Amino acid sequence: MNLLDIRNLSIELISDDKNIRAVDKVSLSMKEGEVRGLVGESGSGKSLLAQALVGVLNDKWHVHADRFHWRGIDLLRLSIEERKAVLSRDIAMIFQEPMACLDPTTSIGEQLIEAIDSSQLSGFFWQKHQQRQLAAIRLLHKVGIKDHKTCLKSYPHQLTEAFCQRVMIAMALARRPILLIADEPTAAMEITNEGQIFRLLASLNQLKNMAILLISHDIENITSWTNTITVMYSGQFVEAGTTSQIFSNPLHPYTRALVDSSPSANLHLPAKSRLKALPGSIPILQHLPIGCRLGPRCPRAHRACVVAPSVTNFHGHEVSCHFPLTSLKKPRSKAIKEVC
């Protein structure tokens, strides 16, 4: 059974002059214990999608979907409060700059104790404080912090970003979630510490069978840690499949460009030669192209691309393109070259 099943989720910003579709009909599904990577550059709407899942979006965004199932429960039929109750019990999220997410005026210990769910404590009310302390220490051990005494007493600004991210993961684990959404967890820290955080997430996934949705803008550094990858571009769904499928055989021109821009794909290129890159830049929200949003930049764009493509499935490898690569379908009419 699928843990999370979303079909055609759209997020719109409704203003006086026109509606802006920041996320346009994206589908996502996750199984239990799966580590899925959600890759997209800035402006792809991946953070919006994650925030819409957890339910922390601003009121100015309107979210609607055809199907939104969580562990078999149809969330669209529930009221907002019930939906929030279901989701907040089972989903946890960690964010990009951990030091900014922690309260700078209270110590780590106090914040950690605050995050602990009191329904998991048993005993009389005078024992609860002691139990909370023990639970906090246990959480810190789970994320690999052995020296809990100094950690509990220190303030966020005294620790490094990687340390703070571990504390955030500990706080996220306090409610024993089934799905952990990590929104670019390592963007703010040194590359040398990235490996530690990813190893921690991988061990949590294996030990507790916790599903992880790993959001990143760089396809390179999450390939070693994920089972499946979904690629988004400018709010639209582009491609999804297992990591090896995406890397060895990308079907969408955008995914191919992403894979080509990663350093490991360029190992065979001579030094200081030109890298393969798509021309142009990501469209801004005010000027979104109609139909397939990669249209103006795509080297294989044709007249058919003014209509948004539907999702085709090649043995579990889904792609949303009219003319996917290495397929039998060849474009018939002459290509429209757009000068960007």
Contacting another protein (CB under 8 A), which of 150, 244, 313, 327?
A: 244
Cα–Cα distance between 153 and 324 in angstroms, integer? Answer: 55
Range 41-46 contact pairs with CB under 8 angstroms and sequence separation of 24 or more: 41/217, 41/233, 41/282, 42/217, 42/282, 43/234, 43/235, 43/282, 43/283, 43/284, 43/285, 44/217, 44/232, 44/233, 44/234, 44/235, 44/282, 45/11, 45/232, 45/234, 45/235, 46/183, 46/215, 46/232
With contacts defined by CB under 8 A, name the span among 76-84, 102-110, 150-158, 212-220 that binds another protein. 212-220
With contacts defined by CB under 8 A, name the span among 9-17, 87-95, 108-116, 271-279 that binds another protein. 271-279
**Complex with another protein: residue 153 or 276, whichever CB lies closer:** 276
Contact 228, 243 (CB under 8 A): yes
Residues that bind another protein (rule: CB under 8 A) add up to a total of 39
**Complex with another protein: residue 130 or 281, whichever CB lies closer:** 281
Contacting another protein (CB under 8 A), which of 157, 274, 315, 330?
A: 274
With contacts defined by CB under 8 A, name the span among 2-10, 140-148, 163-171, 261-269 that binds another protein. 261-269
**Structure-block tokens of residue 186:** 């390592």
Length of the chain: 340
Contacting another protein (CB under 8 A), which of 218, 304, 311, 331?
A: 218
SS3 240: strand
Q: Is residue 338 a contact point for another protein (CB under 8 A)?
A: no
Backbone angles phi, psi at 263, to 5 degrees: -60, -35
| Least Å from the CB of residue 129 to another protein | 39
Q: Is residue 249 a contact point for another protein (CB under 8 A)?
A: no
With contacts defined by CB under 8 A, name the span among 96-104, 120-128, 206-214, 255-263 that binds another protein. 255-263
Cα–Cα distance between 77 and 68 in angstroms, integer? Answer: 9
Contacting another protein (CB under 8 A), which of 107, 221, 249, 312?
A: 221
Contact 22, 13 (CB under 8 A): yes
| Least Å from the CB of residue 10 to another protein | 23
Q: Whose CA is closest to 108, among 161, 175, 168?
A: 168
Q: Is residue 275 a contact point for another protein (CB under 8 A)?
A: yes
Contacting another protein (CB under 8 A), which of 263, 268, 310, 333?
A: 263
Cα–Cα distance between 67 and 186 in angstroms, integer? Answer: 31
The residue ranges that bind another protein (CB under 8 A) are: 41-43, 190-192, 195, 217-221, 223-224, 243-244, 257-258, 260-264, 266-267, 269, 271-279, 281-282, 284, 339
